[in-house]
Amino acid sequence: MQFYFIRHGQSTNNRLWDLTGSSDGRVHDPDLTEMGKAQAHALARFLAQTDLPLSVKGHDRQNRAGFGITHLYTSLMVRAVATGAIVARALRLPLHAWEDLHEEGGIYLTDAETGARVGLPGQDRAYFETHFPELVLPASFGPAGWWNRPFEEYDQVPARAERFLNDLIVRHGGTEDRVAVISHGGFYNQLLKVLFRIGREDGWFGLNNAALTRIDFLPQQVNLVYLNRLDFMPKELIT
């Protein structure tokens, strides 16, 4: 299995942080900015290249012959679904929801008076069906919002990352599948640290908006092929 981790395009919260260095005024489930949409389209065009003239023999570690993505999954946070929908249309693939791909903390806002981080419902089935018809929701997804629980504490995230990896192997391990997921920078760090047995506080893996990371799951080992790939992105769109 080839596994591609993709961060969503720039969100309104990302732009807020870039402009102010603060989370004051963040929204609980931000959408993409116009920059983020442009990043997603650039990513989608790159992933859709399948008619490259170059003949590649052996290992194609830079995907010079294209990607051939076979499965596409997304977090249920709006910025990820919006990115994934653009990619799904370009690749002519269904976009499947995978709840465990969400960002650290879940859907929440911070109470201005107490500082408590309060969990919120998240978007419901009707919202996704109206705005993102490409998205395939699980049959168990009810009419209420998908989150509907307290803030996810930091020490809860590694177990979720471990669960995602186990489920990924059950679905696609030992196959020739090429699996892409649209997710988030914080979860990316937790996932890599769990996968490669790195201490939770031992540094940070930078990941730009709409950047690619490729990991190959082989029968006897796991190979990190590249991190934070962004050579396809016009420089004016890099955030």
pLDDT for residue 115: 87
Nearest to 4 by CA among 171, 231, 228: 228
- Which residues have C-beta within 8 Å of that of residue 114, sequence separation ≥ 6? none
Which fold would CATH assign to domain 2-49+63-237?
Answer: Rossmann fold (3.40.50)
Residue 192 has pLDDT above 80, yes or no: yes
pLDDT tens per residue, range 77-125? 999 999 999 999 999 999 999 999 999 999 999 998 898 999 999 999 9
pLDDT digits (tens, 9 = 90+) for 56-72: 556 789 998 899 999 99
CA nearest neighbour of 72 among 172, 143, 141, 148:
172
- Rg of the chain taking only CA atoms, in angstroms: 18
Task: Break the chain into its structural domains and give their ranges.
Answer: 2-49+63-237
Q: Are 99 and 183 in contact (CB under 8 A)?
A: no
Q: Which residues lie below 8 Å from residue 136, measured CB to CB, with a gap of 6+?
A: 94, 95, 96, 97
pTM of the predicted model as reported, rounded to 2 decimal places: 0.95
